[in-house]
Copies of this chain bind each other. A is one copy, B any other.
Amino acid sequence: MPEFEFLNYLKTLGLKITNQRKIIIEVLLKNHGRHLSLEQILSEAKKNNPKISLATVFRNINFLEKENLLTKMKLDDNKSYYELCLDFKGSKHTSTHHDHLICESCGIIIEFYNDEIEKLQKKIALDFNFKISRHKMELYGICGNCIKNGELK
């Protein structure tokens, strides 16, 4: 969770701690819980260092994803969104799966996990003699806030 711990962890993976890398990690930690696109991460990062390029953000995000420190989700808007999936316990981290509610008005992405649904998925897989490796469930609609504010588009 704290930045130095995160950076230390990256060091153990053989990475150099560059200014750009630090800024990107900062952005991710500051927005923990939110789902950001590459462009959003870039524009946040640019507030600290206007020279950071999209390619650098891409490469860093990509690396974190490979290390399972980030999850990527592709939404129907054709973009990918990234979310830190860390619970640092010493130098360990765990990632947890969740599904998503996606507001088509304000764009907020709400996570949830429902054990009954997971069980039903397993049952369905069994029925079809199918071995599931991962799944995706996205509920698109309008969030409570937008309903309240009359954003019914």
Which of A28-36, A38-46, A138-146 is the interface stretch? A138-146
On chain B, the residues within 8 Å of A139 by CB distance are 121, 124-125, 130, 132, 135
On chain B, the residues within 8 Å of A124 by CB distance are 101, 112, 114, 139
Count contacts on A: residues with CB < 8 A to the other chain.
33
Q: Is the CB of A129 within 8 A of B147?
A: yes
Interface positions of A from 100 to 151, Cβ below 8 Å from B? 101, 103-104, 110, 112, 114, 116-117, 120-121, 124-125, 128-144, 147
Measured CB to CB, the closest approach of chain B to A20, in angstroms, equals 27
Nearest 10 pairs between A and B by C-beta? A129-B144, A132-B141, A137-B137, A135-B139, A133-B141, A131-B142, A136-B138, A131-B141, A132-B139, A134-B140
> Chain A interface (Cβ within 8 Å of chain B)?
74, 76, 78, 101, 103-104, 110, 112, 114, 116-117, 120-121, 124-125, 128-144, 147
6 contacts between A and B (CB under 8 A): A101-B128, A112-B124, A124-B139, A130-B144, A131-B141, A135-B137
